[in-house]
Chain A
Amino acid sequence: MYFDFTDEQQAIKATAHEFLGSRFKSERMREIAASESGFDASGWKEMAELGWAGLALPEEWGGQGLGTVELAILFEEMGYALAPSPLLSNTIVGLVLAVGGSEEQKERWLRPLAAGELRGVPALVDAGAAAEPGMFAMEAAAAGDGVVLNGEKTLVLDAASADLLLVATSDGRRHIVEKDAEGVTVIPEVSIDLTRRLSSIRFDAVRVGPEATLPGEQSAYLPVLHRACVAIAAESTGVAQRSLEMSVAYAKDRQQFGRPIGAYQAVSHRCAQMLLETENSRSAVYGAAWAADAEPESLPLAASMAKAYASDAGWRVPDAAIQVHGGIGFTWEHDLHFFLKRGRANAATFGSAKWHREQVAAAVLAGESAPASA
């Protein structure tokens, strides 16, 4: 029993913390948030050089072959820095190709994705349909030896910077579609989170050749969903941690009635609550990340627990931070709103807290025992 990072993992954390802290200072984050595409090409290049595009992708295909614990470490720091980057969506496409792609597909797409030379984003949710994990309406209609896609995907992350779209269809299959393929139209949406943009994508008779449909089946992708949940829950934990730190610093500094406001229990107890939620979120994330790497049979329950908890904490903690800051926290000028918006958007991505709690309920009420105590 040892619940802490190894030296290598500490090093990953330190590198990420330092790099992201210097690269995405407030002014730079705001510059990217205010830009038209929301994409930071030079930041991406540097992340790719650090090996992050392929951090958790197989070494065989040019990735670093590291685990979900390392992925969680990185994404906690991404959230802490509120780094605008397509790293999460790109990682998910890489993981899907790794479990569901053929050798040729891996060679053609996974290798450049792992190197950061191409960027991929998942296109899962169908416009107008319930945005629940694993439910897809778009049909893969047979056409010749391939399929043809019609319809509209929405809530697509980071589409502006993407080269490849990973499209899910109602038969549970995944297809790689190049963004500039004929019949594909990207429509930017107005997202509350300016540091991670959403788009809708129209598919008008888009032809997909047999070489671009992954042989994997829906069930193969569940572990990828669970890893994505762990990664985004880690990110929300970082969002909470940063919001907490900003609040504590402000509460020590800001004086009212002749004292720092942090001396008043109405404020200090709120900060203590923020710490409790942040630490719970972190423990749930690390536990699930460890399960992903070492005890995969525990991953589905652990991932839903982590995602449910971090979904709530990821926006409630920055929300409490705004209250600690008072009026200044409600201004555009202060950075807190970016953290609140990321936390709130993360809460609704890859299954809401409610959806994940229902997965937990289904597991524990079906007679499955609670996570074994050691």
Chain B
Amino acid sequence: MDLTLSPSEEEFRDEVRAWLEANHPGPEPEAGLDEVMAFRGEWQRKLHEAGWAGISWPKEFGGRGATMIEQAIFAAEASRQEAPSPANVLGLAMGGPVVIAHGTEEQKARYLEPILTGEEIWCQGFSEPESGSDLASLKTRAVKDGDEWVVTGQKVWTTFAQYAKWCMLVARTDPDAPKHQGLTYFLLDMEQEGVQTRPLVQITGEGEFNEVFFEEARVPDANVVGGVGNGWAVAITTLMNERAGLAFGAISQIQNSLGRLAKLAQETRSNGGTAAEDPYFRQRIAQLYIEVETMRLNAYRGLTKTMQSGIPGPEGSLGKWQWADINQDLTELALEIEGAYSMLARGSEHAVAGGAWQYGFLRSRANSIEGGTTDILRNIIAERVLGLPRLR
């Protein structure tokens, strides 16, 4: 057992740290999404030039070929320094790895480079209004027409669809086959007549995600990934292939939030002293620190296990569940510490910390829904980790 970094890992961390300190552009502008995306695009170009985009991708495809521990170190360090996200998060984390794992040589030559540079943004067309957690029930149809497919249907919760060039689309190509077998994975060009995007406004007032309508949109046969009828397998490998980086980035982010929470408590008057002196808040703050530490240690235990076996296990679901719980608890506690001032939001003169916690509280409501609801994660854990029987 050794919970410290080896000398070579430490050297890597120092290299990452120094590069980020010298290059990352500071916080994202407090502006509209267009400006934020332009800012993230600029940052991704910088990352790419220095070889940090596609850190997990094999070198032959333009990535860095970093080990899992190196991916974890990079993500943790980038989050610790609060570096912005790159513009093409979904392309880097999912699109590229799918093409690398299942794509043809032509597809690899065509798609990978613009993902890395951020020149082409990717979005993910999986969920539908009638198919959320039960993804395999999706109804969007693709019908063969010569050497093309004609796509009709609707997708929803499609993050950054309004900026995307390519959509990772899962559509039903055989309505008579069992639901998991009649699906095909396509790369669909978003810049065409048959595709309409409508932003959905979130409870934060922002519009990160969209509804996407396909009316006889066209996809060439050459854009099928992994073969007709294999869409479920292709989609699931990328969903399952939990990238070491994501978890460690999220943990660093929460550690930063904890530090801010402690500061908020120290600066907020409560009960004749500060909130940081109030025994009730002290207990709750301590509990959050403890839970974040257990999450961090779980992630390292999981990483060691994955490095031994080569495959991430279903235990990864525990971490995502716990992350959502903690993030929600943390922002709830911040509002409780703020007391009546917690009613004021961004833009208000008297809002505490510029309304950042109000935004965080609202945004974190999605944490137990996005990327697998906590309820579905509990099912996965019950069935696949504990071996309990399935209800369905």
Binding site for B on A (CB under 8 A): 1-6, 9, 69, 248, 251-252, 259-260, 262-265, 267-269, 271-273, 275-276, 279-281, 283-284, 286-287, 290-291, 294-295, 302, 305, 308-309, 354, 357-358, 360-361, 364-365, 369-371, 373-374
A contact residues around B291 at 8 Å (CB)? 280, 309
B294 touches A280 (CB 8 A): yes
Cα(A269)–Cα(B69), bound, Å: 31
A360 touches B3 (CB 8 A): no
For A67, give the chain B residue with the smallest CB separation.
B1
What would 20 A/B residue contacts be, using CB atoms closer than 8 Å? A1-B300, A3-B303, A4-B1, A252-B388, A263-B389, A268-B378, A268-B388, A269-B379, A283-B294, A283-B297, A283-B301, A284-B290, A286-B1, A308-B286, A360-B289, A365-B282, A370-B293, A373-B80, A373-B251, A373-B252
- Judge if B271 is at the interface, Cβ distance under 8 Å: no
A contact residues around B286 at 8 Å (CB)? 308, 357-358, 360-361, 364
B contact residues around A354 at 8 Å (CB)? 283
Q: Is the interface of B mostly helix, strand, loop or mixed?
A: helix
Cα(A23)–Cα(B126), bound, Å: 54
Q: Is the interface of A mostly helix, strand, loop or mixed?
A: helix
- Judge if B32 is at the interface, Cβ distance under 8 Å: no
B389 touches A262 (CB 8 A): yes
Which of B283, B293, B385, B391 makes the CB contact (< 8 A) with A287? Answer: B293
Cα(A272)–Cα(B321), bound, Å: 11
For A6, give the chain B residue with the smallest CB separation.
B1
Cα(A271)–Cα(B248), bound, Å: 26
Cα(A249)–Cα(B380), bound, Å: 17
A contact residues around B6 at 8 Å (CB)? 1
B389 touches A374 (CB 8 A): no
A272 touches B382 (CB 8 A): yes
Number of B residues, CB within 8 Å of A: 62
B266 touches A269 (CB 8 A): no
Binding site for A on B (CB under 8 A): 1-6, 9, 13, 69, 73, 76, 80, 248, 251-252, 255, 258-259, 262, 265-266, 276, 279, 282-283, 285-287, 289-298, 300-301, 303-305, 308, 315, 318, 321-322, 375, 377-379, 381-383, 385-391
Cα(A279)–Cα(B305), bound, Å: 14
Which of B279, B305, B386 makes the CB contact (< 8 A) with A248? Answer: B386
B contact residues around A371 at 8 Å (CB)? 293, 296
Cα(A5)–Cα(B290), bound, Å: 23
A280 touches B283 (CB 8 A): no
Instruction: Known A-B contacts: A1-B4, A265-B382, A361-B285. Give 20 more (CB < 8 A).
Output: A1-B2, A4-B304, A248-B387, A263-B390, A268-B386, A271-B382, A272-B385, A275-B318, A280-B295, A284-B297, A286-B1, A286-B301, A290-B1, A305-B294, A309-B291, A361-B283, A365-B282, A371-B293, A374-B5, A374-B9
Nearest-Cβ distance from residue A77 to partner chain B, whole angstroms: 17
Nearest-Cβ distance from residue B11 to partner chain A, whole angstroms: 13
B contact residues around A294 at 8 Å (CB)? 2-4
A286 touches B297 (CB 8 A): yes
For A364, give the chain B residue with the smallest CB separation.
B289
A3 touches B294 (CB 8 A): no
Cα(A37)–Cα(B45), bound, Å: 73
Cα(A357)–Cα(B73), bound, Å: 29
B298 touches A280 (CB 8 A): yes
B296 touches A373 (CB 8 A): yes
For A371, give the chain B residue with the smallest CB separation.
B293
B287 touches A364 (CB 8 A): no
For A269, give the chain B residue with the smallest CB separation.
B378
For A9, give the chain B residue with the smallest CB separation.
B1
Q: Nearest 9 CB-CB pairs, A to B?
A: A268-B382, A283-B297, A361-B282, A280-B294, A262-B388, A360-B286, A357-B286, A361-B286, A272-B378
A370 touches B69 (CB 8 A): no
B contact residues around A286 at 8 Å (CB)? 1, 297, 301
Nearest-Cβ distance from residue B193 to partner chain A, whole angstroms: 44
Cα(A361)–Cα(B298), bound, Å: 22
Cα(A262)–Cα(B305), bound, Å: 27
Cα(A276)–Cα(B295), bound, Å: 10
A contact residues around B318 at 8 Å (CB)? 275-276, 279
A contact residues around B248 at 8 Å (CB)? 373
Nearest-Cβ distance from residue B188 to partner chain A, whole angstroms: 36
Cα(A121)–Cα(B298), bound, Å: 34
For B252, give the chain A residue with the smallest CB separation.
A373
A370 touches B259 (CB 8 A): yes
Which of B265, B297, B388 makes the CB contact (< 8 A) with A365? Answer: B265
